[in-house]
Structures are given as structure tokens and as C-alpha cells.
Amino acid sequence: MTRLVPVQVTAELEAYLESLIPEREPVLARLEQELEADNVPAIGVQVGNLLRLLLRMVGAGSALELGTAAGYSGIWLLRGLDQGRLVTLETDPERAERARRNFAEAGFEKQAEVREEDALAYLERPGESFDCVFNDLLNSFPSEAVVERCFELSLTRLRPGGLLIADNALRRGEVVRPTGRQARNVAHYNRLVAGSPQLDSVVIPMRDGVSLALLRK
């Protein structure tokens, strides 16, 4: 079989791809400018639109987000939920309050619940199930043991047919030879997802990589 060489995504090609995405509402456009100016990592327009499409494709009515930050990715998730509910977890009070303002500006004040709580602590308690769990904390976990515990608990919060999604699944390409702690954590997460008999999965090489898995019914 002929192996195709992946297309190198240049800045020009990135701009072209983004030009194909419909114009965003003002709050998203503003956040994109603010996050870029502050050099704050974000999922970006393409990954955001992917999240929206994926949730719409499975008819998701609820989502759990691990890591709120400014609420940018949460708004994209809410756009895919079609009047559904988002629970998003953030330990930083200032970020949590900023996210609440952004959700309200986007018209999602009643659909978005920002909880100032550690993600693992929330998952450890018995609670509701969701149609999607979006993990935006892969770069923040302190150890592979915590990564594994978070993965296991996330599966318990997913409904059959639900989506388990994680950003930064390629860790800037470092997962190929993971020497640093964060790269090892991400590589471990990828192995857990790929090796789970409960999941059908793929890593999409978009931006810093998106891990996408479907919990089998």
C-alpha cells in the first residue's frame, strides 16, 4: 500500500481552512483575539467547529468539560448541544468568573454550569452521566496514575454511545518520543484509549491533536 505523506499545515493553509468556517458570533471572535494576545492556549477555530459538529452528529444533549479556562471551548460545545446542558470544571476563581461572563454574553447563561472544583474530585463522586466528556487537561496532570484514574472515571460518566474527547493528544509531536512528564502523560492517555475494549477511537492530527473515542453500546 502506498503511504501518503501528510500535508504540512502552513500558516497560509491554516488561514485557508479557517476561512471555510462560518463567521463566529462576536464573543467567540473577541475571545480568539484576547487569547492570542495573551498567549493563552486554546482549542482554536477548527477544533471548536469539530466539537460542535461531533456533538450534533450524535445528538448530544449534555456534556462535561474538564478545564474551563475562559469558556471558549465550552461555547463551542454548547453550540453543538442544541439547548442542552454543559457542566464545566475550573479551579481558578478568576477564570471561572470570566467564563461565566462569556457564557452569558453568548446566550448560554442558563445552559452552562461552571463549577469551581477539581476535575478528579468531581469525577470521584457518584453523579450524573453525560453524552460527552471533553478533557482539556491532558497537559496539566501531575502523573500517569492521575491520567489513568481520570480516564477510568470519565468512562463511568459517559452514557453508551457517548463521546470521550481530549485535546492536545499529540503534545506538539513529543508523544513519538515522550521524555518529559507531560508528553509521557499524554502518550499514556493515548494508549489507554486505544487499548480499551469499550471504545472505538482515533487521534485526529488537527492542531495539537484531538483524541476522539465512542463508548460502545
- Name, in order, each residue with C-beta under 8 angstroms of 175's C-beta and a sequence gap of 6 or more: 169, 183, 186, 187, 190, 209
- Dist CA 190 CA 194 (whole Å): 6
- Dist CA 85 CA 163 (whole Å): 15
Asked whether residue 143 is assigned to any structural domain, the reply reads yes
Distance of CA 49 to the CA centre of its chain: 11
pLDDT, mean over the chain:
93
Asked whether residue 88 is assigned to any structural domain, the reply reads yes
Phi, psi at residue 89, to the nearest 5°? -110, 130
The count of other CB atoms within 10 Å of the CB of residue 168 is 24
Overall domain count for the chain:
1
First vs last Cα of the chain: how many Å apart?
33
Asked whether residue 87 is assigned to any structural domain, the reply reads yes
pLDDT at 66: 98
Asked whether residue 159 is assigned to any structural domain, the reply reads yes
Return the CATH number at 157. 3.40.50.150
pLDDT at 42: 86
Asked whether residue 151 is assigned to any structural domain, the reply reads yes
Asked whether residue 170 is assigned to any structural domain, the reply reads yes
Domain residue limits at 118: 60-215
Handedness of CA 60, 23, 138, 191 (dihedral sign): positive
pLDDT tens per residue, range 105-143: 999 999 999 999 999 999 999 999 999 999 999 999 999
- Dist CA 143 CA 121 (whole Å): 16
Asked whether residue 34 is assigned to any structural domain, the reply reads no
Asked whether residue 69 is assigned to any structural domain, the reply reads yes
pLDDT tens per residue, range 183-193: 999 999 999 99
pLDDT tens per residue, range 45-56: 999 999 999 999
